[in-house]
Structures are given as structure tokens and as C-alpha cells.
Amino acid sequence: MVMKRFFVFIVCILLTVNGLADVSKYDKVKINIILAEQSDAQELMRMADAFSTKAERREFVVNTLKRQAIETQVGLMEELNILEANGLVEEIRSLWIVNSVSCYANEEAISVISQRKDILTIYQCEEFQCLEDESVTGVEHGDNREIAENIVKVNADQVWELGYTGEDVLVALIDTGVRLDHADLQGRLWDGGAEYPNHGYDFYSHDNDPSDTHGHGTHVAGTIVGTGVSGTQTGVAPGATLMVLKVFHGDDNLSEVTMWVEAMQFAVEHGANVMNMSLGQPLPDSGVKLMMRQACDNTLAAGVVAAVCAGNSRQIQMLAPVPYNIWSPGDCPPPHLHEDQMVNGGGTSCVICVGAVNNSDVLGDFSSEGPATWSGVAPYNDYPYSSGSSTNIGLIRPDVCAPGVNVKSLDFNTTNGYCLKSGTSMATPCVAGVIALMLSKDHELTPEQIDEILERTAVPLSAHKSNDFGSGRIDALAAVNMIGHLDVSENNADDITVYPNPATDIVNVVCDNEKIELMDINGQLTVINVYDNKIDISNLPSGVYLMRIETSEGFVYKKLIKK
């Protein structure tokens, strides 16, 4: 949402001061404890690339991250449980998408925990408010099922005519929740079964009621899947399914990033194909940036893509100057690095960052300005930025833009109404919807392919990928039509052969190698006998395994099936 007054942004800054606040012996504050052992997401991605389907890839990554968390958090959890028994700690929550543990702790407990050798950092989970209570412009219902302007602008309606509406695609909405009884969302909400009967979860209150009491999430949801039964077709992908993950508190809109990471973890584990994150933290400290980057890296490894807003801070750069004008996690890198970025390349993550234009392709005056930088944030330390440099250009943000000014979508105040809102929050679900259309044509598209296609087919609004428009304004029809015509290089070496595959007893590996290892689907090394590039798997249980082959050029991974 657009920040119309400096006050709201100043409150955000005052509530996100670096470091731990003064904590009395008796008072507790929420902290997040990031363990020293974290996954190497780039290596995890190379391992996961050996699997032929996204479902197998996701299972391998989730199980590997869970195993790492279980094994490395044992000592910390034992100490926290003792502290909890003595009243010094409460509400302990373990995470695996980032190897970390959050809890409420007092001064004495924080002092004890900070002495541990297995801890990388501890930071205070400061709640902040960056969704302004703005006036909502109500609008009339459409006549004869009108199509909202933003949908026509990106040619999504023409994709529907090809038969793609987002069917069989699950979009996780990480936001303020949704008005669950709005007529235009009926039939489009995730069936969470008996465990999640209300189509999602509330990670602020930790209950099963993700109902919207603000309006932001309902409006965003309408741009993704709104069916138009009340008069206006607002959904870019009206055939998609929406998982509702609430991360804000009621009317005051307080939140903090640990809740966002919990929601991302839930989405990955429960099968979401796309995440929509129309949210972000201005001026995050290094602990928050580390938490968000690791979560977004591991989400990419699992094969899940996220549309994330750039933020609405362009007009207040005296408070958030470039390269700190982009909100986090919008400041995390994309799955695919554009050629204009390669002069200053770095790591990748799941984030497709979205800026906002109006329906005449004029940049929204609020849309945050890139670049971003990760200099000084260990262990990343990539995308250095120096003003005026032709090489240290930082991380170009956003990646693409979409209509985000006076967007018509669902009004949470009624069960069948519409309203107009503006912001990069409104542009982002347009991109998430287009991604859903793409996946309904080819469900196996990777985040890298999705990002590259979106950027290659975007309507250019600048000579190069820019820190205003990214690669340009998205075009759904062009993106869907490019699917199947994009050259994608294989990550595994073609000159390494594994046969027979599937196999029952002996497997041959044709390559010049120094070492061969085998891991199960949980990422656990398996004991095997290797002789002259022959592997005896006769004693292994049936299932899917990952072979790691060390060559002179590094590791290569191959999937192996034991019959």
C-alpha cells in the first residue's frame, strides 16, 4: 500500500532499530536465534537439479533441511527447554527453512544463549507497521462481467482464450488474511482438510482463522483469483487456488519477519507453487536480511517462486536512500540473472521483485527505486554498490513491473464489493497471477525459467533493465506463448552416464572421477561399496537416491532409482 505520510514510515524505522533492546530481568522479548550451520543453498540447488520432477525436488530439499535442523538444534533446544522450565523462556518455535529457533526470552536467558558456540547470531524480532490505514475508494459493480483494466493491460484475458486460467496451481498469499466469504473467492480457496479448515493459517495469533480485518489481503487475493461473479473480473488467474497465510495482527497491522518465514515454510511444505508477498520491511538490519535471504534461497532450492513487492518508498529517500530504498525480501536476488546484471553477478533466490506502473505504463511515483546491495551481510557479501560505478552496480531491482495504480479488486467490507487501491502491493499479485497462468500450461517450469520468460517477454520501458522498471511491464500472452521455446542449459554434465537406471543390484558410472557417494531422499549419506566405478546397491531399500560424483570440475549429481 502507498505511504502517503512520512509518519508511518518513521514509525517503521523507529520500531526496527538494530540490536537487542534493553531487557529487564523479568520482561521477555521475542528473539530469533540463527544457528551457525546453515545450508549452502547454491549447493543444495545443484543437488536438487538431479531430480526430474518438481515434486521429487521439493521432497528432497524439505527433508534435507528438516534433517539439518533436527540434528543441529538438539543442544540448543535442550538448553531452551531448561530455561523454559525455570520461567526464563517461553513460546519456543523451531524453523527449518532457515535453521533457527525463535522464542520469548528475558535478559538472563539471552545472556546464557549468546554464549553458545553453535549460534551465528541473535536478533530481536521487532514488530513494525508498514501497511498504512488509507482511505478506500469504493466503486460500482461492473456490468455484464466487465474485466478490470489491469487484466486487459497485461493481456491475461487473451491467455484465458487459449485455455489457461491457472488451474491446478496453488498460490500462497502471505498477507493480512482474506475475507473468506467474499462471493468472488468462493471455490478458489485451498482445502486444508480437517487440520486447516479455514483455507490456511494465522501465523501471528497461531490459530486456524486467517480472516482479514484490514482489507489489504482481500484486495490482493482478488487480483490473483477473483472470479468476477459479483460483476467485475479482477483475477488474473481465476482458475488457480489460493492458500491464505495471515502474518499481520488485526487492525493495527503489526508483523515481523519471523512470521513471514514461518508462512514461507508452511507454503513450501504444503505444496504451494507460487508465493505472493505484497509486504516488506524498510531498512532491515543485518539479522533480518540474513533471515530473509536464507529463506528465499532455500525456497528456490525447493523449486518454488515468489512474487514480492519492491516497496513504496521512492518519495522518501531522505529516510531510505538508494541502495536501501527497496524493502526486504524484495531486495533478495531473482532466480535468473539478466545479462545486464552480469557485470556484477552474485547469488540467486526465489524472489521476482515487482515495481508498479499505471495503465499508461508510467512509473508509480511511490514505487521503490533500486538497486539493492548485500555488501557487509555475511556470508553473502555480494552485489556491491558504488554510486556512479559502471561495475559495482548493486543488485538491479525490480525485475519487472505491473499495473499498480488505482487497481480495482475486492473490498473486504462487503461480501460482493470492489474498491480501488494503489501500491507495489497491488502490482505484485498481477505477476503472481501471470505465473499461475504460465504454470497451468507447463507445471514443471522452474523458477529460473519463469523469471527469464517474464523478463524476456516484458514490454520494455527503458533501454536496459533498470532500477525503475526492471525489464519492463509484464505481458501474460507473450510469456505463455514463449513457454516451450526457451533454451535451457542442463546443469548435469552430459558426459557422465549412470546405467542401468532403475537398477536392482549393480550400477555402472561412466566418468573420470575421484569419489562417488550416494544419499537417500532425506539427504543422508548411504553406505555403499564402490569398485572400479561399479556400485553395489543390492542391500539398499527400494526408492529414490541421489548420486554425488566428484570430478575435476566439481560435483555432479544424478538421480538413481533402486527397484
Average pLDDT rounded to a whole number, residues 462-480: 96
The CA distance from 541 to 563, in Å, is 8
Torsion angle (degrees, nearest 10) of CA 414, 415, 418, 424: 90
Ranking 102-111, 363-372, 544-553 by mean pLDDT, the lowest is: 544-553
CB 163 within 8 A of CB 437: no
User: What DSSP designation does 343 have?
Assistant: G
Please check the confidence at residue 76 and state whether its pLDDT lies above 90: yes
Architecture of domain 497-562: Sandwich (2.60)
Torsion angle (degrees, nearest 10) of CA 221, 224, 229, 230: 50
Inter-helix orientation angle 54-72/41-48, to 10°: 140
Give Cβ neighbours of residue 166 (< 8 Å, ≥ 6 apart): 225, 236, 237, 238, 239, 240, 433, 436, 437, 439, 440
First-to-last C-alpha distance (Å) of the chain? 54
The CA distance from 424 to 402, in Å, is 8
pLDDT at 140: 66
CB 222 within 8 A of CB 173: no
Please check the confidence at residue 297 and state whether its pLDDT lies above 70: yes
C-alpha R_g of the chain: 24
Backbone φ and ψ of 68, nearest 5°:
-60, -45
4: pLDDT confidence band, cut at 50, 70 and 90?
Answer: very low
pLDDT at 108: 96
The CA distance from 415 to 403, in Å, is 25
What is the sign of the dihedral through the CA atoms of 417, 423, 425 and 431? positive
Pairing of strands 254-255, 128-129: antiparallel
Homologous superfamily, domain 141-457+464-482? Peptidase S8/S53 domain (3.40.50.200)
Please check the confidence at residue 491 and state whether its pLDDT lies above 50: no
User: What DSSP designation does 447 have?
Assistant: H
Cα angle: 76, vertex 77, 79; to 5 degrees: 65
pLDDT at 136: 57
The CA distance from 107 to 254, in Å, is 24
Please check the confidence at residue 169 and state whether its pLDDT lies above 70: yes
Please check the confidence at residue 500 and state whether its pLDDT lies above 80: yes
Higher-confidence residue of 44 and 144: namely 44
Average pLDDT rounded to a whole number, residues 442-467: 96
Q: Residues 340-398: pLDDT tens digits? A: 999 999 999 999 999 999 999 999 999 999 999 999 999 999 999 999 999 999 999 99
144: pLDDT confidence band, cut at 50, 70 and 90?
Answer: low
Higher-confidence residue of 129 and 256: namely 256
H-helix or E-strand spanning residue 116: none
pLDDT at 285: 92
Give Cβ neighbours of residue 470 (< 8 Å, ≥ 6 apart): 353, 354, 355, 396, 397, 398, 399, 400, 401, 455, 458
The three cell numbers locating residue 453: 520468460
The CA distance from 396 to 469, in Å, is 10
User: What DSSP designation does 132 have?
Assistant: -
Nearest to 425, CA basis, from 438, 447, 437, 409? 409
- 160-180 b/e with 16+ CB inside 10 Å = b? beeebbbbebbbbbbbbbbbb
CB 46 within 8 A of CB 57: no
Please check the confidence at residue 175 and state whether its pLDDT lies above 50: yes
Average pLDDT rounded to a whole number, residues 491-503: 71
Of the CA atoms within 13 Å of residue 60, those in its CB half-sphere come to 30
The string of DSSP letters for 63-74 reads HHHHHHHHHHSH
533: pLDDT confidence band, cut at 50, 70 and 90?
Answer: confident
Most confident residue range from 24-28, 87-91, 529-533: 87-91
Pairing of strands 146-147, 497-499: unpaired
pLDDT at 557: 77
Pairing of strands 137-139, 119-124: unpaired
The CA distance from 329 to 310, in Å, is 8
Nearest to 190, CA basis, from 164, 209, 171? 171
The CA distance from 292 to 289, in Å, is 5
Please check the confidence at residue 145 and state whether its pLDDT lies above 90: no
Average pLDDT rounded to a whole number, residues 74-103: 97
Ranking 199-203, 490-494, 502-506 by mean pLDDT, the lowest is: 490-494
CB 101 within 8 A of CB 95: yes
Q: How many CB atoms lie within 10 A of CB 456?
A: 15
Q: Residues 193-240: pLDDT tens digits? A: 999 999 999 999 999 999 999 999 999 999 999 999 999 999 999 999
The three cell numbers locating residue 224: 490473483
**Chain mean pLDDT for the chain:** 90
480: pLDDT confidence band, cut at 50, 70 and 90?
Answer: very high
Give me the amino acid identity at 334.
Answer: P
550: three-class secondary structure by DSSP: strand
pLDDT at 11: 36
Ranking 200-209, 385-394, 427-436, 512-521 by mean pLDDT, the lowest is: 512-521
The three cell numbers locating residue 378: 555475511
pLDDT at 236: 98
112: pLDDT confidence band, cut at 50, 70 and 90?
Answer: very high
Give Cβ neighbours of residue 456 (< 8 Å, ≥ 6 apart): 471, 482, 486
Every domain of the chain and the residues it spans: 18-125, 141-457+464-482, 497-562
pLDDT at 542: 87
Please check the confidence at residue 26 and state whether its pLDDT lies above 70: no
Percentage of residues in the chain with pLDDT exceeding 70? 90
Cα 265–chain centre separation:
9
Please check the confidence at residue 494 and state whether its pLDDT lies above 70: no
User: What DSSP designation does 167 have?
Assistant: T
As a residue count, the chain comes to 563
Nearest to 105, CA basis, from 133, 121, 128, 124? 124
